[in-house]
Amino acid sequence: MNVLIAGAHGTTGKQIIEILARSGKHTSYAMIRKEEQADELKKLGANHVVIADLEGDISETAKDMDAVIFAAGSKGKNVVGVDQKGAEKLVDAAKAAGVKHYIMLSAYGVDNPRGELKEYLEAKAKADQYLLDSGLTYTIVRPGHLGNDAPTGNVKTAEHFSSAGESKIPRADVADVLVQSLDVANVRNKTFELLTGDTPIANALNQL
């Protein structure tokens, strides 16, 4: 499959590129904002680079793509423009291009936005709903607090956990879940929360 990765230059996005390169199953198209980021992404294993800004016109970015992984984020700088509207615009582009599967990196807590992350969670919730309403085949992944620890390869999944507590999950494991979701039919048209656990990723996805 041709897979477009939005936010490919981000911390999680780079790991998605690396995992795709190691697997060799799919052709990766790393979507980045700046031309000078291209060499780094190619060194990480990106097959192709797409220069596009989520705050601008991205209507052509999904042409010839089979799947999209949205892993972009503004780090709080423009949550409406990037985290919400950017995701929504890419949904529109994917729908127009006949993309078969849209995988959204969301966040734990979007169903009850509050606290200092309220604005961000509200933006992510709207983006998720936009995808749900689009008619596209989707997978929405809502991980707990992202950390930079080494991957464990083990997670736990549920439609909803009563509390994520202080549970962190390595970005590398989240990236692995997003990539494996390309090939696991069981996660299509499902929304689930994701925490570190004791179940190998492939098994956890197939048990949802």
Q: Where are the beta strands (DSSP E) in 1-43?
A: 2-6, 27-32
Catalytic, out of 29, 102, 120, 138: 120
CA distance 163 to 161: 5
Q: Give the distance, in angstroms, between the CA of residue 74 and the centroid of all CA atoms in the same chain.
A: 14
108 is catalytic: no
Task: Give the start-end residues of each E strand in the chain.
Answer: 2-6, 27-32, 48-51, 67-70, 101-105, 138-143, 145-147, 154-158, 168-170, 190-196, 199-200
User: Residues with catalytic annotation?
Assistant: 120
